Chain A
Amino acid sequence: MIEAHGLAKRFGVVQAVSDVSFTARDGLITGLVGPNGAGKSTTLRMLYTLLRPDAGTALVDGHDVRTDPEAARRRLGVLSHNAGLYPSLTARENILYFGELQGMARAERERRADELIELLEMQEFADRRAKGYSQGQRLKTALARALVHEPRNVVLDEPTNGLDVMAVRNLRALLLRLRAAGHCVLFSSHVMQEVAGLCDEIVVIAHGRVVAAGTAAALLEQTASASLEEAFVVLVEDGRA
């Protein structure tokens, strides 16, 4: 479970995030949706302890990201925006390296790498060097790398960016599978439809603050809109005021 409490972050004169609070529960997929520059990435980066909040805090399975960032990171699997691989290493080696950094024993991380390669259908390219991978192959490798230590909580920053339809379908299937296994899944997107089709909970973020949160149905009701796209526009416009 991930809980954000009044997160705020400023870069120079830009107040990237001013007040973000929400809860992402286990066994649910939570979507963080908002226009470009709304503060989604900054919020997620505070959750996975890359940035230190100016105010507020977040708890990952009860571990405070401000006071115990290492414990928080241990319980998180993170797919960051533009997650890069090591081009001279194979997919398997990329995964194993992260398993080692997570402190996993050799036998354990090798077993886990085999498991993920099968789960994500990576057999075909797993032992080829990452240089020259397709977008979809890169994403699979980055995902496997993020999941190597079987984290309870999975955070993905705009994971569908630049993916073709097949890759998006595969990703969706994986997220549903993680949900079924009781994981807490939190992902960000700027496409409302994508979030609506997948998420149990939607958190709409605009201008650095949460403007609405709830199920898709609740958001439609709250904004008295016919479509989610309309609801999104209404919420973002309201947030500006």
Chain B
Amino acid sequence: MKTLLTVFRKEFLENLRDRRTILSALVFGPLFGPLLLALTLQLSLSRNEAIADEPMAVAVTHAERAPNLMAFLRERNVSIEEVTLDDAGARAAILDRAHKLVLAVPEDYGARLAAGQPAPLRLYADSSDLFNDRVGDRLRTLLSQHAQQIAQLRLLARGVDPLVIAPIAVQDVDVATPRSRAVLALGVLSYLIIIAMLMGGMYLAIDATAGERERGSLEPLFTTPASRSLIVYGKVLATAAYMLISLVLTVLACAIVVRWVRLEDFGMSAQLDASTTLALIGVTAPLILTGAGLMTVVASFTKSYREAQTWLGVVLLVPTLPLAFVTLLNLKPTLPLMAVPSLSQHFLMTALLRGDPIDPRAVAISVGVSLALGIALSWLAARLYRREAILG
């Protein structure tokens, strides 16, 4: 038992001095992951907001032919840029991106309006440019609002109730709760946490197995009276320790990021309070042993550091497979599915984020299976290290 502690302490401290391990355990996963999440969220949220409120610029030819319309648009935060362009010029201006939108007022606009006939307007826009198309939609909405105003005034002038032309009033009822909307945005979170956690232990697992063999320090190690099994368990535990650090840091970083992005400003309330954060770490932690065992077993088969790196890169993707299946097959959490490591952690994390009630049996199965598998894999790693071929 003392051997286990000795090996654990040495691997842990030695890897604290290794830049690669530190970067992957403490920086890449925990920092870049949540940062990326924050940027994505921030960008997509602020863009929606920008489109709704930003002043919109429209190039107008012959604005003087429609003074009322221009006043209406200016009131609604649309800046009018008067230009002189013919039909071909307007098309070219859009294609050259000189203007996003060009509104052309024909010569007979005023006359037809006065005569109570449909008054023509020409709106040039590029529908293949998604962002500008949304701006175009906004302008179209404004134009139809203006048209409706005129129509209502005309009806009033003829003594008709304007409601006559509003036979149907559709009301959107969005039943998404703020929380569930937030979860949609945070769907990548569980994936991110699991990957960051595995990455945290990857380099230590490689260094302690393939690295040790490549350096030629494995043979001297095995000439000491220390039991090989205990040496291997010490290495697995050191790997697990780095994964735990990585997990805690990543979850904390996510909690901070979620607060920083201020989802509640957008009508979402992804609450990552202290108890949820702790629970997230708690339900994910058992997967650490599975991951550490698996990585140690795989790295034991490899001949060199490089080969181990390649294989562990693949291992890193293994836990993401169940997640992909879930999305493809739209699986709902059931008790049997809780026996699938990484999938069960994903379900539990999602439930925690949504604020759904959690079945204690689900937690028990998830924790039990992950730990049992981790112990089995560690045992297998120890067996592999008892082979003579381990020295290559």
Q: How far is the CA of A101 from the CA of B388 in the complex (A)?
A: 20
Q: Quick check: B18 and A88 within 8 Å, CB to CB?
A: yes
Q: Quick check: A80 and B219 within 8 Å, CB to CB?
A: yes
Which one, A73, A82, A84, A89, contacts B223 given CB within 8 A?
A: A73
Q: Quick check: B224 and A85 within 8 Å, CB to CB?
A: no
- Residue A51 at the B interface, CB < 8 A? yes
**Given A74-B225, A86-B14, A101-B6, do A50 and B220 touch, yes or no (CB 8 Å)?**
no
Q: How far is the CA of A73 from the CA of B220 in the complex (A)?
A: 11
- Residue A24 at the B interface, CB < 8 A? no
Q: Quick check: A48 and B223 within 8 Å, CB to CB?
A: yes
Chain B 188-229 interface 0/1 with A at a Cβ cutoff of 8 Å (1 = within) = 000000000000000000000000100111111111111100
Q: How far is the CA of A140 from the CA of B14 in the complex (A)?
A: 21
Q: Quick check: A101 and B226 within 8 Å, CB to CB?
A: yes
Contacts of A76 in B (CB 8 A): 223
**Given A50-B388, A97-B6, A101-B3, do A85 and B217 touch, yes or no (CB 8 Å)?**
yes
- Residue A200 at the B interface, CB < 8 A? no
Contacts of B158 in A (CB 8 A): none
Contacts of A51 in B (CB 8 A): 388
Chain B 373-391 interface 0/1 with A at a Cβ cutoff of 8 Å (1 = within) = 0000000000000001001
- Residue A70 at the B interface, CB < 8 A? yes
Q: How far is the CA of A82 from the CA of B227 in the complex (A)?
A: 22
Contacts of B6 in A (CB 8 A): 97, 100-101
- Residue B361 at the A interface, CB < 8 A? no
Q: Quick check: B221 and A52 within 8 Å, CB to CB?
A: no
Main secondary structure of the interface of A (DSSP, over half): loop
Q: Quick check: B391 and A103 within 8 Å, CB to CB?
A: no
**Given A88-B14, A89-B14, do A102 and B219 touch, yes or no (CB 8 Å)?**
no
Q: How far is the CA of A48 from the CA of B203 in the complex (A)?
A: 30
Q: How far is the CA of A70 from the CA of B226 in the complex (A)?
A: 8
Contacts of B220 in A (CB 8 A): 78, 80, 83-84, 98, 142, 145-146
- Residue B2 at the A interface, CB < 8 A? yes
Q: How far is the CA of A89 from the CA of B225 in the complex (A)?
A: 21
Q: Quick check: B391 and A50 within 8 Å, CB to CB?
A: yes
B1-34 interface with A by 8 A CB criterion: 2-3, 6-7, 10, 14-15, 17-18
Q: Quick check: B225 and A73 within 8 Å, CB to CB?
A: yes
Q: Quick check: A50 and B222 within 8 Å, CB to CB?
A: yes
Q: How far is the CA of A100 from the CA of B4 in the complex (A)?
A: 11
CB distance from A97 to the nearest CB of B (A): 5
Q: Quick check: B225 and A103 within 8 Å, CB to CB?
A: yes
- Residue A87 at the B interface, CB < 8 A? yes
Q: How far is the CA of A70 from the CA of B227 in the complex (A)?
A: 8
Q: Quick check: A85 and B225 within 8 Å, CB to CB?
A: no
Contacts of B391 in A (CB 8 A): 50
Q: How far is the CA of A84 from the CA of B305 in the complex (A)?
A: 15
Chain A 116-138 interface 0/1 with B at a Cβ cutoff of 8 Å (1 = within) = 00000000000001000000000
Between A48, A80, A89, the greatest number of chain B beta carbons within 10 A of the residue's beta carbon is seen for A80
Residue on A nearest B2 in the bound complex, by CB: A103
Q: How large is the interface on A (under 10, 10 to 19, 20 to 34, 35 or more residues)?
A: 20 to 34
Q: How far is the CA of A211 from the CA of B268 in the complex (A)?
A: 84
CB distance from A149 to the nearest CB of B (A): 8
Residue on B nearest A96 in the bound complex, by CB: B10
Which one, A80, A87, A100, contacts B215 given CB within 8 A?
A: A87
Q: How far is the CA of A82 from the CA of B212 in the complex (A)?
A: 12
Q: How far is the CA of A156 from the CA of B218 in the complex (A)?
A: 16
Q: Quick check: B18 and A101 within 8 Å, CB to CB?
A: no
Which one, B18, B227, B388, contacts A52 given CB within 8 A?
A: B388
CB distance from B227 to the nearest CB of A (A): 8
B210-252 interface with A by 8 A CB criterion: 212, 215-227
Q: How far is the CA of A113 from the CA of B208 in the complex (A)?
A: 24
Residue on B nearest A88 in the bound complex, by CB: B17
**Given A100-B6, A101-B3, do A78 and B215 touch, yes or no (CB 8 Å)?**
no
Contacts of B14 in A (CB 8 A): 86, 88-89
Residues on A lying within 8 angstroms of B by beta carbon are 48-52, 70-71, 73-74, 76, 78, 80-89, 97-98, 100-103, 129, 142, 145-146
Q: 7 additional contacts, CB 8 Å, given A80-B216, A83-B220?
A: A49-B223, A50-B391, A73-B223, A84-B220, A101-B7, A101-B225, A129-B17
Q: 9 smallest A-B Cβ distances: which pairs?
A: A84-B216, A84-B215, A84-B217, A78-B223, A101-B224, A88-B17, A82-B216, A80-B219, A101-B226
In the complex, 6 of the A-B residue pairs with CB atoms within 8 angstroms, ordered by the A residue number, are: A71-B225, A97-B6, A97-B10, A101-B3, A101-B226, A146-B220
